Amino acid sequence: MASALQVVPTGMKWTDFGFFRLVISGNIELDTHEKLGNGTYGTVWKGRVCGGREVAAKMMNNLFNNPVDQKQCLMMAMNEARKLTTIDHENIVKGLGFEIGREWFMLVMELMKETVRNKIDRAFGQRLLEKEALNILQQALEGLVYLHTLEPKPIVHRDLKCSNLLISQREVIKLGDFGLVHTILPTETGSTDPAFAPKRSCGTALWQAPEVVASTVNFVYGRKADVWSIGCCLVEMLTGNPPYYKSYYKNSNPPYLEKERWKIAVISGQLSYKPEDFVSSSARDAISILEKTFRNQTKENAKPSIIAQRYTGLEGIRPYSWEILADVKDINELRPLRQLLADKEKEINDLRQQLSDKEK
């Protein structure tokens, strides 16, 4: 594969941004009977490269329907292509290349087996066990921490949800759908430089952090918005739905009105986001993580504002993704030891009971 000039409709030219161009014509055959999923701007199909390798092809054929949105849509598509073809991490879906036609855009990626959302839907009761959910969370966080610590400019994903957490043939969890990613510039203290911060509310309602819902030119957000979303993914795995789904989306008609109601509730501070309101009290490890991901402050000594003071969430400063990853790793590594200790304690208690019965 070689980098190349891309020529797009209406005479716009895109110079070499470090993309890797995969010549699609005649090289990839799409199987229109194998639709893998739908996205905001197109459909993902199963395909095959000459030589036999199976791939996933994201075909966006409605990018150029609206001339007003043409440039923005194309920029988003090429932004996703650029990130996926230049990033190399075990827990991030690998982009193989892209092609632009007169009225379409195709992004070719490694083929994944399914999404975590698919796994939830197949599970008994449409929910995963805490142990399995935390193992998935750890792998997703590995990919997220990689994005959040890229130098010199880290990346904010902005659309984390279980349908964007993909599972490979080897059962490896990978982050996917980079259509909304945003590159930021950290300050010396680690917070996001406002000049490079996202200033537009992006992502999917119910998975968005409060600061994303309330974002404006004056109220921006950064990497910790993804930490909130990863907490919503954990709730989704344990319960089958993100927080407050039943309150705002179950039996909703039309759904967009319910989304606006949820946003108003978030901004006005009507939602507590107490972990015990969503997950079983027996899921102590998951609750300990959610108590951190759902904190409403993103930095110390934040500038007071009417909106920020009414933010939904728990009191305290939300950790960075790498801090949450360290906590999840500790939990997953200590879980077998804790189970062993619990089993031994049960054996001792049983022996004590037997001795007590004999003495009687």
Active site residues: 159
| Contact status, residue 287 vs residue 281, Cβ threshold 8 Å | yes
Q: What are phi and psi of 51, to 5 degrees?
A: 115, -15
Report CA-CA distances (Å) from 63 to 72, 75, 95, 101, 297: 9, 10, 20, 11, 37
Rounded Cα distance between 108 and 254, Å, is: 34
User: Rounded distance, CA 203 to CA 58, Å?
Assistant: 19
To 10 degrees, the CA torsion angle through 53, 56, 62, 64? Answer: -60
Backbone angles phi, psi at 50, to 5 degrees: -55, 125
Nearest to 71 by CA among 21, 13, 157: 13
Q: Which residues on neighbouring strands pair with residue 28, listed in sequence order?
A: 49
CA 97, CA 82: separation in Å to the nearest integer? 9
Return the number of other C-beta atoms located less than 10 Å from residue 309's C-beta: 10
Q: Is 58 annotated as a binding-site member?
A: yes
Helices (H), 87-223: 116-122, 130-148, 210-213
Q: How far apart are CA 213 and CA 260, in angstroms?
A: 10
Residue type, 46: K
- Picking from 29, 26, 8, 25, the residue whose alpha carbon sits closest to that of residue 17 is 8
d(CA 55, CA 181): 22
The tokens of 283 are what?
């899921």
Instruction: Find the DSSP H helices in 49-111.
Output: 67-86
Distances (CA, A) of 160 to 15, 61, 77, 130, 232: 30, 24, 17, 19, 9
DSSP secondary structure letter of residue 206: T
Q: Can you tell me whether residue 54 is helix, strand or coil?
A: strand
Residue numbers belonging to the annotated binding site:
58
Residue numbers belonging to the annotated binding site for ATP:
58
